[in-house]
Amino acid sequence: MSMTHRAGAELFGTFWLVFGGCGSAVLSASFPGLGIGFAGVALAFGLTVLTMVYAVGGISGGHFNPAVTIGLWAGGRFRGSDILPYVIAQLVGAILAAAVLYVIASGKPGFVLDGFASNGYGALSPGRYPLLSCFVCEVVCTFFFLTVILGATADHAPKGFAGLAIGLALTIIHLVSIPVTNTSVNPARSTGPALFAGGAHIAQLWLFWLAPIVGALLAGWVARWLHELGAGREDRKWPQTTESAT
C-alpha cells in the first residue's frame, strides 16, 4: 500500500475521531439537561475508533493518533521513516474536523465558543485538577491505551477483535479522565480544537503532546519485553494486513 493511501486513511480516521468525539461534546452541550453527558461522549470517542479501525485499519494500521504511531514505533511495530507523514496526516485530519465542527456549531443562535472540547489543566481542567494530576493521568491512560493496542494486535491475540478491544479501551479512558483533562491521549485530537479555542488552550497544548508521547513510549518499550518482540523481526512490523490486524 502506498504512503499516499496510508496517509489518506489516517487523515479520514482522525477526522472521524475528532468530528465524532469532540462533536458529541460540543453539540450536546448546546442542550442542557438533554445532552449525552460524560458517558455518551466517552462512548462516542470509543465508537469512532472502533468503526474506523474496521473501515480503514487494513490500509494504514488504524493509528489516528501521533502517540499511537510513536508507541508502535517504540514497540517495534512501525518504521521510523513513516512517522512524520502519519503525524502530518493525523494533524490535518484533526484540524479539518475541528473546522467543520466549528462551522456547524457556530450556526446555532447564541453560540459561545468556550473551550470547544479542548483539553486543559488548572483553570481549564473540567474538575480544576492541577498540572501534575493531569500529566500523570494522561501518561497512565496513554500507556494502557497503547498496551491494549499492542496486545490486541499481537500475533498471538485472537483474530478479528482488535478494533473492539481498542474502542472499548478508549471508552474506559474517557470515562476516567474527562473530569481531569477532558481526555486527550492524542496530540492531534488536542491540537484541532485548541486552534479554534485559542489563547490559554493553545498555551497548554504542550502538555497534551508531551504526556501522551511519554506514555506511548513507555508502553512500546514495555511491550517489547512483554510480548518478546524483536526490532528486526520484519514479520511483526506495522502496518499489518487486514487479516492479521483484525
pLDDT digits 0-9 by tens, 229-241: 444 444 444 444 3
CA distances (Å), 53 to each of 9, 50, 105, 147, 196, in order? 10, 5, 27, 16, 27
Read off the pLDDT band of 244 (50, 70, 90): very low
Q: In this predicted structure, what is the pLDDT of residue 240?
A: 45
Read off the pLDDT band of 1 (50, 70, 90): confident
Q: In this predicted structure, what is the pLDDT of residue 166?
A: 97
Q: In this predicted structure, what is the pLDDT of residue 193?
A: 98
CA distances (Å), 221 to each of 63, 81, 215, 218, 228, in order? 18, 18, 10, 5, 10
To the nearest whole number, what is the mean pLDDT of the chain?
A: 91
Read off the pLDDT band of 155 (50, 70, 90): confident
Q: In this predicted structure, what is the pLDDT of residue 160?
A: 86
Residue range 119-141: mean pLDDT, rounded: 98
CATH level 2 (architecture), domain 3-108+116-245: Up-down Bundle (1.20)
Whole-angstrom Cα distance, residue 133 to residue 10?
31
Q: In this predicted structure, what is the pLDDT of residue 229?
A: 46
Whole-angstrom Cα distance, residue 60 to residue 8?
8
Exposure on the CB side of residue 138, measured as CA atoms within 13 A: 31
pLDDT digits 0-9 by tens, 28-85: 876 767 678 999 999 999 999 999 999 999 999 999 999 999 999 999 999 999 999 9
Looking at per-residue confidence, does 172 or 111 come out higher? 172
Q: In this predicted structure, what is the pLDDT of residue 226?
A: 83
pLDDT digits 0-9 by tens, 187-229: 999 999 999 999 999 999 999 999 999 999 999 999 988 876 4
pTM listed for this prediction: 0.90
Whole-angstrom Cα distance, residue 25 to residue 38?
8
Please say whether the beta carbons of 87 and 66 come within 8 A.
yes
CA distances (Å), 71 to each of 178, 185, 186, 234, in order? 22, 12, 12, 17
